[in-house]
Chain A
Amino acid sequence: MLQNAWLVPSLPAAAFLVILLFGKRAGKSAAWWGITAVAASFVASCVAAVQWVQRVDDATGTSNGLAAFTKGVVTTNDVHHVVKPVTESVTWWQNGAVKFGVGTYVDGLTVLMLVVVTLVSLLVQIYSVAYMRGDRRFTWYFAALSLFTASMLTLVVAENTIQLLVGWELVGLCSFMLIGHWWEEPENSRAAIKAFLTTRTGDIGLMIGIIVLFFTVGSFGVGATNLYATGAGAHHDLLLAAAVCLMVGIIGKSGQFPLHTWLPDAMAGPTPVSALIHAATMVVAGVFLGARLYPVFFNGFSIASGGVNFMALIGGVTIVIGAVLAFVQHDIKKVLAYSTISQLGYMVMALGVGAWSAAVFHLFTHAFFKALLFLGAGSVSHSAGHTFDMREMGGLRKPMPITFWTFLIGSAALAGIFPLAGFWSKDEILVNAGANGFDAFLIVGLIGAFLTAAYMTRAVWLTFFGEFRGHGHPHESERLITGPLVVLGALSVGAGVINAAPLGLEKIKDWIEPTFAFPVVGHAAFDYPKAVLSVGIAVVAIGVAAYYWYRNAERPLLSGLTQRSPLARAGYRFLVNKYYLDDLYEKVIVGGIQGAVARATYWFDQHVIDGVVNGLGRGTTQLAHYTYDIVDQRLVDGAVNELAHEADQAGAELRRVQSGRVQRYALLLFGGVGILSLALFLTNTI
């Protein structure tokens, strides 16, 4: 399976084509074709993961295999063994000596991503069968989901940066299609266009970064690039340039400050799509890129030397910015969207502070609990009157017990409560940030943990506690919806154990972290005081937030403070307007372009291009008239008419010969014979 990893993206891609071609006729069963394909992909990914683990264990000669994992037996082996990735490639096209390949690059990170993407996609598709029932474009929705999954998988297995770029753009396209799924509302299509254009802005950086890397390394290959960046002769300045450009791509795709504005608007799409975008496919593509080409960033940003670097800075700023914005949202999905921005900030910051395995670990656990939270929000909305506004919810704890408990688990995991999945990964990021000499980012991370716990408490409180403030009769969702919730809930509880350091399990480090072409990164030991500190901060935040909203339950939300203090009101307005970033982009930047450049282009269009085009058109018309009058009408038609006229005349003359009288014919016959005889006689005698 490691050699045949191309199968994993191919199956959903095939499902996409089949649903697209035959889906209309099949109707509802088309959804199950997509689910079957992604389920097969999931099985294939699991097989690949097991084979990769065996490959690593064979190379290191330890018994850290699956059997040992389940028994809890661990043998440490400090010798640094190199486990090469499994690379398969065929030449796609060739230009001179430069070959553009397409293939698969399978290592620990790849198999981890394959499993996560296919699993989350599978659960989301099952959930969608119930959630999207009766939708106008039901089959098209599933076709797009399949293509979305296939694109992400293509990106994940990419063997070279060009293929990665192709997958990257396909993911962007699919998210555009799905965010604008209900495009009849102009707001939704606006959100889709905004998502597409904002990520495209970042993509330009990615493209330039890939080109810079190509001219630095001389190859598009992922392995070759990483090998070059870890080598002794690597050109640091060029790698810095490439890393900055690639970082712009990550900022666009992974919703990092300042290009995060598209992510909350992307909530316009159907909720399962939001879950997929936020958990497994779209936004983690940026983090994946950072992890995949990590040596480039490590060398380019000089991460080993500590201090502040671009990557960690962006991540740190995003943590706080996203988390603060989550407080002023009334839409539960937007709370989760800002939470995703904040959590992606953690991942990028972790990469920036040299905690590679912590970043990947957090990506892994975050996928489960964020998918769970989004699907839970969808379940709430589905049964509580089709609204996402938390002001119209409340008290849903009793009518929807399964959704409530799974949502609570997801929130606790997100807040980093021991021993749920989020605790282990977030803690590992914080510990490594401290151990690698990035104390400032350790503090930022702790602030983020406090904010995360507080805003999730607010969301849970407003949604599930107090009195029901909405319309309709809330009820528990059906099994197709709660089933995926329960599975994801279990994963949110248990997924953290895979790298729970105090239990002696560090499987992300052992199995996933590359040993081939990878910089030497430190691994901080589990730090009990810090773990207690981060959990304590989360618990305090939950307590403070719960107390605050419990007290405010009777009164309109947040009205007390903002009415009393003008400073708080200004701050609140600043947050509600999302730091005025949207205004900056749309009014100042886009408006400026619309103003000057657009006017100049319009003038050029009207006067120069239109003048040329109109002149050409007029000339052509004249020529056509001339040709019509002279050539067509007189010459061609005249010749044809004249011929016909002559034929008519000749016929009129000749018809007199056809008298119908036999003897006249005979006379002509004999006359003819006589003339011929005379001619013969004359020619013979003369």
Chain B
Amino acid sequence: MELNEFLILSAFLFCTGIYGVLARRNGVLVLMSVELMLNAVNINLVAFSAFTKNVSGQVFALFVITIAAAEVGVGLAIVLLIYRNLHSPDLDEVDQLKG
């Protein structure tokens, strides 16, 4: 397997994530897109680790997974609160900090 294949997959996943974060209106889907981006990074880390025979990349990937779990916990709680207050998971409704 070539390294490039992994990187292309990763880039595709990352771009999908960015699109989701920017375009989706539902807060839950935005969170899921963020997960896609994180996992694209994980793929990168593991691929480089395997190809350069260096474990630290894999260790980083482990950390990222842990952090992602925590992030999803916090993020879902925020989305839940938004839904509770605004009766909608729509992020466009949340513009109280408008200048």
Pick the interface stretch among B46-54, B56-64, B66-74, B91-99. Answer: B91-99
Nearest CB of B to A145, in Å: 80
A661 contacts which chain B residues (CB < 8 A)? Answer: 91-92, 94-95, 98
CB of A666 within 8 A of CB of B95, answer no
CB of A659 within 8 A of CB of B21, answer no
Q: Considering only CB atoms, which chain B residue lies closest to A661 in the complex?
A: B95
Nearest CB of B to A658, in Å: 3
A656 contacts which chain B residues (CB < 8 A)? Answer: 99
Nearest CB of B to A6, in Å: 81
Q: Considering only CB atoms, which chain B residue lies closest to A656 in the complex?
A: B99
CB of A658 within 8 A of CB of B98, answer yes
Q: Please, how many angstroms separate the alpha-carbon atoms of A660 and B99 in the complex?
A: 7
CB of B21 within 8 A of CB of A658, answer no
CB of B21 within 8 A of CB of A666, answer yes
Nearest CB of B to A586, in Å: 87
Q: Considering only CB atoms, which chain B residue lies closest to A659 in the complex?
A: B98
Nearest CB of A to B22, in Å: 5
Nearest CB of B to A526, in Å: 117
Q: Considering only CB atoms, which chain A residue lies closest to B95 in the complex?
A: A660
Q: Which of B91, B96, B97, B98 contacts A663 (CB 8 A)?
A: B91
CB of A666 within 8 A of CB of B98, answer no
CB of A662 within 8 A of CB of B91, answer yes
Q: Is A670 part of the contact surface with B, judged by Cβ < 8 Å?
A: yes
Q: Is A68 part of the contact surface with B, judged by Cβ < 8 Å?
A: no
Count B-side interface residues using an 8 Å CB cutoff: 13
Q: Considering only CB atoms, which chain B residue lies closest to A670 in the complex?
A: B18
Which positions 3-54 of chain B face chain A at CB distance < 8 Å?
Answer: 18, 21-23, 30
Q: Is A71 part of the contact surface with B, judged by Cβ < 8 Å?
A: no
B91 contacts which chain A residues (CB < 8 A)? Answer: 661-663
Q: Per-position contact with B for A644-657: 1 when CB-CB < 8 Å, else 0?
A: 00000000001111
Nearest CB of B to A251, in Å: 94
A658 contacts which chain B residues (CB < 8 A)? Answer: 97-99
Nearest CB of B to A242, in Å: 94
Q: Considering only CB atoms, which chain A residue lies closest to B96 in the complex?
A: A660
CB of B22 within 8 A of CB of A662, answer no
CB of A670 within 8 A of CB of B97, answer no
Q: Considering only CB atoms, which chain B residue lies closest to A665 in the complex?
A: B97
A79 contacts which chain B residues (CB < 8 A)? Answer: none
Q: Is A682 part of the contact surface with B, judged by Cβ < 8 Å?
A: no
Q: Please, how many angstroms separate the alpha-carbon atoms of A667 and B24 in the complex?
A: 12
CB of A670 within 8 A of CB of B22, answer yes
Q: Please, how many angstroms separate the alpha-carbon atoms of A670 and B20 in the complex?
A: 13
CB of B22 within 8 A of CB of A667, answer yes
Nearest CB of B to A659, in Å: 6
CB of B94 within 8 A of CB of A662, answer yes
Using known A-B contacts A666-B21, A670-B18, determine if residue A655 contacts B99 with beta carbons closer than 8 Å. Answer: yes
CB of A660 within 8 A of CB of B21, answer no
CB of B22 within 8 A of CB of A666, answer yes
Nearest CB of B to A147, in Å: 76
Q: Considering only CB atoms, which chain A residue lies closest to B94 in the complex?
A: A662
Q: Please, how many angstroms separate the alpha-carbon atoms of A663 and B30 in the complex?
A: 9
Using known A-B contacts A662-B91, A662-B94, A663-B91, determine if residue A657 contacts B99 with beta carbons closer than 8 Å. Answer: yes
B95 contacts which chain A residues (CB < 8 A)? Answer: 659-661
Q: Please, how many angstroms separate the alpha-carbon atoms of A453 and B63 in the complex?
A: 128
Nearest CB of A to B26, in Å: 11
Q: Please, how many angstroms separate the alpha-carbon atoms of A659 and B99 in the complex?
A: 6
Nearest CB of B to A349, in Å: 105
B98 contacts which chain A residues (CB < 8 A)? Answer: 658-661
CB of A663 within 8 A of CB of B99, answer no
Q: Please, how many angstroms separate the alpha-carbon atoms of A656 and B92 in the complex?
A: 16
CB of B22 within 8 A of CB of A660, answer no
With most chain B CB atoms within 10 A of its CB, the pick from A654, A657, A663 is: A663
Nearest CB of B to A662, in Å: 6
Q: Per-position contact with B for A422-446: 1 when CB-CB < 8 Å, else 0?
A: 0000000000000000000000000
Nearest CB of A to B85, in Å: 15
Q: Considering only CB atoms, which chain B residue lies closest to A655 in the complex?
A: B99
B94 contacts which chain A residues (CB < 8 A)? Answer: 660-662
Q: Which of A655, A659, A663 contacts B22 (CB 8 A)?
A: A663
Residues of A within 8 A of B (CB): 654-663, 666-667, 670
Write 11 A-B pairs (CB below 8 A) sorted by A numbering: A655-B99, A656-B99, A658-B99, A660-B95, A660-B96, A661-B98, A662-B94, A663-B21, A666-B22, A667-B22, A670-B22
Nearest first, the 10 closest Cβ-Cβ pairs linking A and B are A658-B99, A660-B98, A660-B95, A655-B99, A660-B97, A661-B95, A667-B22, A663-B22, A662-B91, A666-B21
Question: In the complex, given contacts A660-B96, A670-B22, what are 17 additional A-B residue pairs having Cβ atoms less than 8 angstroms apart?
Answer: A655-B99, A658-B97, A658-B98, A658-B99, A659-B98, A659-B99, A660-B94, A660-B95, A660-B97, A660-B98, A661-B91, A661-B92, A663-B21, A663-B30, A663-B92, A666-B22, A667-B22
